[in-house]
């Protein structure tokens, strides 16, 4: 199987390349949100082992039918840190995470490069999109069975939880994607690292398959210090 990169992005959304700059900016939990409870990790399991290939194909189809979406995100970590903001995604390759003030971070993918801007420090960091797990999420054609090692698919009446990891064994950690059982819409993801920590990102107020201004996926940085 091809490997799914499981390093965690900028604000632990999906890649550790930017983590030191981000963690200092994450704010304590705010009153409008309730900190989720973190349960012990669920062992690898399949609710319906015989139908795993068909179930994965259904998830692929649901995700591939979504060319774009935008809405809100709320990010929690197991140490109690909290951040929130606006997310825009347009497949293939385009992404924008706008963190709410006072968090100064902005994360943008133009389809080739993933860029993090820290407005307070006036710095910009870049990594190739292909070196992050976002490359998988933003692909033109998503194929869970081929692109990841799926270790768990748990189905309930309310939700489906799919856990995947790097199939090559070179990287530690795992990612769990949570879908509504009724329509298989992605509603959250959880990233677990090799040290037992977790980062949970919840999506809300999503709108699908509408036009998103292409300028949102272009970061103008002529007046910023570049730390490539």
Q: Give, for all 228 residues of the chain, the pLDDT tens digit.
A: 333 322 333 444 543 334 333 333 444 444 444 545 444 444 558 999 999 999 999 999 999 999 999 999 998 988 888 999 999 999 999 999 999 999 999 999 999 999 999 989 988 999 888 776 667 678 889 888 888 888 999 999 999 999 887 666 555 677 888 999 999 999 998 888 777 788 898 999 999 999 999 999 998 754 444 444
Straight-line distance from the first to the last Cα atom of the chain, in angstroms, rounded to the nearest whole number: 31
* Block residue for tokens 């389809």: 111
16-29+45-208, CATH topology level: outer membrane lipoprotein receptor (LolB), chain A (2.50.20)
Q: What is the dihedral of CA 40, 57, 61, 85, to 10 degrees?
A: 20
In this structure, the strands spanning 225-226 and 123-128 are parallel
Percent helix, strand and coil across the chain, each to the nearest 5? 15, 40, 45
Q: How many residues does the chain have?
A: 228
**Stated pTM of the model:** 0.74
CA dist 102 and 214 (Å) reads: 25
CA distance 17 to 131: 10
Distance CA 163, CA 175 (A): 6
Q: What angle do CA 202, 73, 38 make, to 5 degrees?
A: 30
d(CA 51, CA 202): 27
> E-strand spans in 129-192?
149-155, 159-165, 174-180, 186-192
Name the pairing type of β-strands 27-28 and 149-155. Answer: unpaired
Nearby residues of 105 by Cβ (< 8 Å), 6 or more positions away: 10, 11, 21, 22, 25, 97, 99, 116, 117, 118, 119
Give the span between the Cα atoms of 138 and 89, in whole angstroms: 8
3-state secondary structure of 58: helix
pLDDT score for 159:
96
């Amino acid at each position: 199987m091809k490997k799914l990169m499981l390093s965690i992005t900028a604000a632990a959304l999906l890649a550790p390349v930017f983590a030191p700059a981000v963690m200092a900016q994450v704010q304590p939990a705010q009153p409008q949100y309730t900190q989720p409870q973190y349960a012990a990790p669920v062992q690898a399991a399949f609710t319906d082992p015989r139908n795993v290939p068909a179930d994965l194909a259904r998830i692929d189809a649901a995700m591939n039918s979504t060319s774009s979406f935008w809405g809100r995100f709320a990010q929690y970590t197991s140490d109690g840190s909290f951040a929130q903001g606006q997310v825009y995604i347009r497949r293939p390759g385009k992404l924008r995470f706008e963190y709410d003030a006072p968090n100064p971070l902005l994360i943008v993918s133009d389809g080739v490069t993933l860029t993090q801007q820290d407005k307070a420090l006036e710095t910009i960091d870049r990594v190739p999109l292909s070196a992050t797990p976002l490359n998988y999420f933003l692909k033109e054609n998503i194929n869970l069975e081929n692109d990841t090692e799926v270790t768990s698919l748990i189905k309930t009446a309310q939700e489906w939880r799919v856990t995947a990891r790097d199939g090559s064994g070179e990287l530690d950690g795992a990612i769990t994607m949570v879908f509504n059982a009724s329509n298989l819409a992605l509603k959250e993801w959880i990233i677990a690292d090799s040290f037992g920590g977790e980062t949970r990102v919840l999506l809300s107020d999503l709108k699908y398959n509408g036009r998103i201004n292409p300028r949102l996926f272009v970061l103008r940085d002529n007046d910023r210090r570049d730390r490539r």
